[in-house]
Amino acid sequence: MISVPVYDIQGKRLDPVEVDESRLGAKVSLALLRQAVWTYESNRHVGTKRHLTRSEVSGSTAKMYRQKHTGNARAGQRSAPQRRGGGRAFAARPRDVSRDLPRKARRNAARSALLSRLLEDEVSLIDEVKLDIPRTRVIAGLLQSLNIAGRCLLVVEAGNIGAWKSGRNVAGLNVRRAQDLNAYDLLNSDRVLFTQAAFDQVMETLAS
């Protein structure tokens, strides 16, 4: 069993929650996590880089000077790749590098990512975060009371719009809804915070 600390909105420690690691597979699959991170980062790649070839560079296509009897090396167009302002010899073209990860593999990767963070004691729970209107100072105060600095992931339950909007302006904080959580988000942070309701939703989805 893994003991997960629980805090209230003021940072006061409450009774911990016990999590059975067997519900998350009991084993972290590093190969699957590596594949998941590779897939998510590849899908974030825009791939719109494009250079001009010698046929696309604007300018005259006439021969620069006659072939012989000038004392110079023979030269063709000014758009030749070896000349300044000329086209690229092997010009980059837009390409799609996106990859696909099967749904079952995505689910197992998220399960392994959550288990790894739990085993490293980098997950904490917040008893409840209820905000009728967005208040950034409340979320910022919560992070300060927990001595959290650097990159942090806050996972809120579905429908908690107030908490979701309140954390968007906090530097270093990434806010996700429970249904949008993935392995990359869990791994790309120094600390992970769940609301109690969001943690229950995630465990219900990922538990085997």
Mean pLDDT within 44-51:
91
Last residue of a domain, one of 96, 130, 155: 96
User: Which helix (H) or strand (E) is 110 found in, with range?
Assistant: helix 103-119
Length of the chain: 208
pLDDT, tens digit, for every residue of 89-136?
999 999 998 889 999 999 999 999 999 999 888 898 988 888 877 888
Examine the domain organization and report whether 7 and 92 are in the same domain: no
Examine the domain organization and report whether 178 and 130 are in the same domain: yes
- Which of 37-46, 120-129, 160-169 has maximum average pLDDT? 37-46
Q: What is the pLDDT of residue 171?
A: 84
Query: How far is Cα 48 from Cα 41, in angstroms, rounded to an integer?
Result: 15
Q: How far is CA 170 from CA 9, 104, 108, 150, in A?
A: 16, 33, 30, 11
The two three-digit tokens of residue 15, written as one number: 């009774």
Query: How far is Cα 104 from Cα 92, in angstroms, rounded to an integer?
Result: 35
pLDDT cut 70: percent of the chain above it:
100
Mean pLDDT within 76-87:
92
Examine the domain organization and report whether 130 and 186 are in the same domain: yes
pLDDT, tens digit, for every residue of 21-33?
888 888 889 999 9
pLDDT of residue 84 exceeding 70: yes
Examine the domain organization and report whether 39 and 132 are in the same domain: yes
Last residue of a domain, one of 62, 79, 96: 96
Q: What is the pLDDT of residue 87?
A: 94
Give the global pTM. Answer: 0.78
Examine the domain organization and report whether 115 and 190 are in the same domain: yes
Examine the domain organization and report whether 91 and 145 are in the same domain: no
Examine the domain organization and report whether 69 and 166 are in the same domain: no
Domain harbouring 175, CATH code: 3.40.1370.10
pLDDT of residue 208 exceeding 70: no
Q: Which of 71-100 are b and which e, b meaning 16 or more Cβ less than 10 Å from the residue's Cβ?
A: eeeeeebbbeeeeeebbeeeeeeeeeeeee
pLDDT of residue 79 exceeding 90: yes
Q: Work out how many domains the chain is built from and give that number.
A: 2
Could you give the strand order of the β-sheet that contains 123-126, starting from the edge strand earlier in sequence? Answer: 13-19, 2-7, 123-126, 191-195, 152-156, 173-177
Q: What is the pLDDT of residue 92?
A: 94
Contacts of 81 (CB under 8 A, 6+ apart): 54, 87, 88, 89
Q: What is the pLDDT of residue 12?
A: 84
Examine the domain organization and report whether 188 and 140 are in the same domain: yes
Q: Are residues 60 and 78 in contact, defined by beta-carbon separation less than 8 angstroms?
A: yes
Last residue of a domain, one of 57, 80, 96: 96
Examine the domain organization and report whether 160 and 194 are in the same domain: yes
pLDDT of residue 67 exceeding 90: yes
Weakest mean pLDDT among 36-45, 159-168, 184-193: 159-168
Examine the domain organization and report whether 78 and 169 are in the same domain: no
3-class DSSP state of 84: coil
Examine the domain organization and report whether 38 and 67 are in the same domain: no
**Is the CA virtual torsion 173, 174, 177, 182 positive or negative?**
negative
Examine the domain organization and report whether 120 and 167 are in the same domain: yes
The two three-digit tokens of residue 76, written as one number: 């063709």
Query: How far is Cα 105 from Cα 108, in angstroms, rounded to an integer?
Result: 5
- What is the extent of the structural domain holding 128? 2-45+101-206
The two three-digit tokens of residue 166, written as one number: 């309140």
